[in-house]
Chains A and B, each alone.
Chain A
Amino acid sequence: MSTSGHLVLCVDDETVGLQVRRMILERSGYKVITALDGQSGLSLFESHPVEAVVLDYAMPGMHGGEVAALMRERKPHVPILLLSAYLGLPPEITSLVNVYMTKGEGAPALLEKLGSLFQN
């Protein structure tokens, strides 16, 4: 598994979930920056040389789909992994992102899917 210190941006409104996810990613060797909502996530995305994004779908204000669309406009090459607590998001949203997975699938699945983004 690649741990080459890629910079990953994590966006989630769940403080605990975000904190735990950060620890998992950091243990795997990623550098992690976090944001608690879409708007601050976007500004971090623009101001930092982010190499991948782990994005939550359900957030107050802007949901993950909207955030992903804006990121694609600005830096289309940055891969996005969309996490959701809901099952069955509409295809027009899942097609925007590189990988889509539901919460609760576990840390190994997350690390594996995130790692696959850098292999391509």
Chain B
Amino acid sequence: MRLVKMIAQVDMDGCIGCKICERICPTLAMEVVEGKAKVNFELCLSCGNCQQRCPEEAIKMVKREKPFTVFVDPEQVDKKEIERICARAKMNPEQLACYCTETRVKEVVAAILLGADTPEKISQKTGIRTGCKVECIQPALRLLEAADIKPERPEGYQWYGRTPTIWDITDEIKELYSGRGFYFDADIELLEKIARQKENHEEGKNE
């Protein structure tokens, strides 16, 4: 869930039309038209990426008159389908996918099941990747892959690709480095245990 209180505002005199803002916006809310950056009022979730990277410092964040919230209710979709995709991605539906917006994996999967077939569309619907903008691209890509979706990359460099997971570490690498403080097998066991943990809040009934 993401509460959106601000919006990017471009100083047209300062904008040089370099397109950096367009290439890094996680919700595709920026577009350079006739040499000037334009903000899409609906799509801007006020992450501040453009403001932080504009080389001319021509973008600032201002308060919206009417704040709004983006959220996908996981109750809208089949719980079993959420569980199936999460199991394939080796994640727990309840775990966080995005620390800043406190978006849980089940909400991301619900967005995917409701038609979000790229990280950008997931961000537009859930707000994921609009906080720190750094840490949560991989959960989005792993969950899309688990839903058998190969997302199309946007023209910019919002993201490049799904990267290795601990399950991709070969036995040879494990053998080579496990004596150097890398506890791959123990971490696999831990992550799989957490992924399998059922939602159950009664004392003593955790796995």
Asked if A pairs with B, the answer is no
Contact surface of A with B, Cβ cutoff 8 Å: none
Contact surface of B with A, Cβ cutoff 8 Å: none
